[in-house]
Structure 1
Amino acid sequence: MLTLEQLRKKSEQRLSGLHPVFKQVMEKLIERCYARGVWVLITQGLRTYAEQDTLYAQGRTKPGKVVTKARGGYSNHNFGFAADFALLLRDGRTVSWDTLKDDDKDSLPDWSEVVEEAKKLGLEWGGDWRSFKDMPHLQMVFGLTTAQFRAGIRPTQAQLDTVLAKINKTGDEEMTVEEKAAFKELQSTVQKQDDRIKTLETAAKQPKVPAWAEQACINAKAAGVLDTANDGSYDFYRMVTLLDRTGIFNAKGDK
């Protein structure tokens, strides 16, 4: 079981070079997904123009599968506002791009949980693109185009401050990620205990009034103490029988 800090370190190198605010958003994504039992690994971050051109050549002038439509200078990776992710499985070593895998066993694909948290943070997901779906891709471009980025235009301080305020808001974020994970586990334990108690309570009920308690229940109903004697437990019938033996039900019936 990896700690959050160990998981962070696995993405540390690829987060380096991203715009500081976008880097914080990605770190927050790792934290939030960890709290949900999903381990996110950042696989790509900042790329130089040359690295982008090499990637663009793949599947065109070089062997391999086409993985990008962008030449150098035409990808948001080149400006530090995009990152790619994958899932890290529970062995702490295996990296997966399986969008249907549910490693935390909560009936929701882990990939979908990452995308859900990403969108809450204001990130754009490449899986929503129509022309070229890029399932591992996340970005935050503040409405800017790559042409504007190439021209040196960057998000305003007000835009950056808005993002920082959003990811650092208080409320349900007051607990640490570790505390939230522990709380989630506690909720699961409490639910299991509650289900167990209900099972025991059901098992404790008698399908019918025991023969040895029938007359006592009749006397209790006649005295107006009971409306029904059905579905009682052994202890319930024993208590009614003991009270009947004291004559309390006959006493009430004689009044």
Structure 2
Amino acid sequence: MANKLTLEQVRAKSTNRIAGLSDTQRKAAELLIDFAYACGVPIVITQGLRTIDEQNGLYAQGRTKPGQIVTNARGGYSYHNFGVAIDFALLLPDGKNVSWDMQRDGDGDGIADWDEVVAEARRIGWNWGGDWRSFKDYPHFEMTFGLSTADYRAGKRPSHTQLNTAMAKIDALKSNKTEDDEMTTEEKTEIAKQFKALQDRVIALESANKLAKVPTWAEQACINAKAAGVLDTANDGSYDFYRLVTILDRAGVFKTKGGAA
């Protein structure tokens, strides 16, 4: 199911909440919003930088204040207090309500939306609270560069090398995304459909010119086409058939969601 909200509308929902993050984490949060949207999963960042007083207020919930316990961290003991962590929720199509349903498949691709967001976050460099051994925090991501909250309280910060490496990765991912966006998913799908129809016709017309094996120069293109679900088999094709497969592969038609063919 296509997104009803534009990317600009989705981005705007999180602008204020990510404004207080450290530079690298803010860029990483922006990229996560974009990548999740590209997967058909709009998200909103529900929490970014959190003050010490806000943290203490949350810690009191379920202890000295009504409500359920939502954190084990006092003020100064959460990565949110240092602008290096975010929480997120799935943004529903109305653009107003959110969901924390980890089984939801709003885009109908057979993959839980939550899992898609987590996969994209890991690719960017976020660590997920759902991987913690105790007190799992499923909406939580953090990018700490190996520093503890005690380190942050003591004034330690990531090195320039660490920050530059992280930013270079973010910039590279953004660049790859821009290149991929030159051909939309819908365009690639339509080309793939046309190719399948052409494939059937070529097979019918050139059955007398079948090659005994796939040419070496066309092997990877055929592998990519099969992985994309365009080919059932690459055997018994003609020279022109394999040439066409190779041309389409180089055009990026068979590129998978992960970015690599």
Alignment counterpart, residue 178 of structure 2, candidates 157, 175, 180: 175
Aligned residue in 2 for 1:125 = 128
| Aligned Cα root-mean-square deviation (Å) | 2.2
User: 1:114-171, CA deviations, whole angstroms, 9 ceiling, x for partnerless residues?
Assistant: 0001001111000000111000000000000000100000111110000000011169
Instruction: For residue 91 of structure 1, report the CA deviation from its aligned partner.
Output: 2.2
Aligned pairs (5 A) from 1:103-142: 103-142=106-145
Aligned residue in 2 for 1:188 = 189
Instruction: For residue 94 of structure 1, report the CA deviation from its aligned partner.
Output: 2.0
How many residue pairs are counted as aligned between the two chains? 199
Identity over the aligned pairs, expressed in percent?
53
Instruction: Work out the CA distance in 1 between the residues paired with 2:30 and 2:173.
Output: 17
Instruction: Work out the CA distance in 1 between the residues paired with 2:98 and 2:122.
Output: 22
Q: Would the alpha carbon gap of residues 190 and 154 (structure 1) be closer, same or farther in structure 2, given more than 3 Å must change?
A: same
Instruction: Work out the CA distance in 2 between the residues paired with 1:56 and 1:163.
Output: 31
Q: Does 1:84 align with 2:87?
A: yes
Specify the SS of the correspondent of 1:9: helix
Aligned residue in 2 for 1:67 = 70
Instruction: Work out the CA distance in 2 between the residues paired with 1:93 and 1:187.
Output: 31
User: 1:78-132, CA deviations, whole angstroms, 9 ceiling, x for partnerless residues?
Assistant: 0000010001122222201111111111111110000001001111000000111
Aligned pairs (5 A) from 1:159-174: 159-169=162-172, 173=176
Asked if 1 retains the 8 angstrom alpha-carbon contact of 2:88 and 2:140, the reply is yes
Letter matched to residue 175 of structure 1: T
User: 1:187-234, CA deviations, whole angstroms, 9 ceiling, x for partnerless residues?
Assistant: 233445566789999xxxxxxxxxxxxxxxxxxxxxxxxxxxxxxxxx
Specify the SS of the correspondent of 1:43: strand
Alignment counterpart, residue 145 of structure 1, candidates 121, 144, 148: 148
Specify the SS of the correspondent of 2:54: helix
Aligned residue in 2 for 1:213 = none
Instruction: Work out the CA distance in 2 between the residues paired with 1:88 and 1:76.
Output: 24
Aligned pairs (5 A) from 1:1-255: 1-169=4-172, 173=176, 175=178, 179=181, 183-192=184-193
User: 1:28-69, CA deviations, whole angstroms, 9 ceiling, x for partnerless residues?
Assistant: 111111111111100001111110000001111111111000
Aligned residue in 2 for 1:234 = none
Specify the SS of the correspondent of 2:88: strand
Q: Would the alpha carbon gap of residues 65 and 195 (structure 1) be closer, same or farther in structure 2, given more than 3 Å must change?
A: farther
Instruction: Work out the CA distance in 2 between the residues paired with 1:159 and 1:140.
Output: 11
Aligned residue in 1 for 2:221 = none
Letter matched to residue 66 of structure 1: I
Structure with higher Rg: it is 1
Instruction: Work out the CA distance in 2 between the residues paired with 1:200 and 1:93.
Output: 49
Asked if 1 retains the 8 angstrom alpha-carbon contact of 2:127 and 2:141, the reply is yes
User: 1:3-52, CA deviations, whole angstroms, 9 ceiling, x for partnerless residues?
Assistant: 21211110001001110111000101111111111111000011111100
Specify the SS of the correspondent of 1:138: strand
Instruction: Work out the CA distance in 2 between the residues paired with 1:69 and 1:200.
Output: 64
TM-score of the superposition, structure 1-length normalised?
A: 0.72
Instruction: Work out the CA distance in 2 between the residues paired with 1:46 and 1:191.
Output: 44
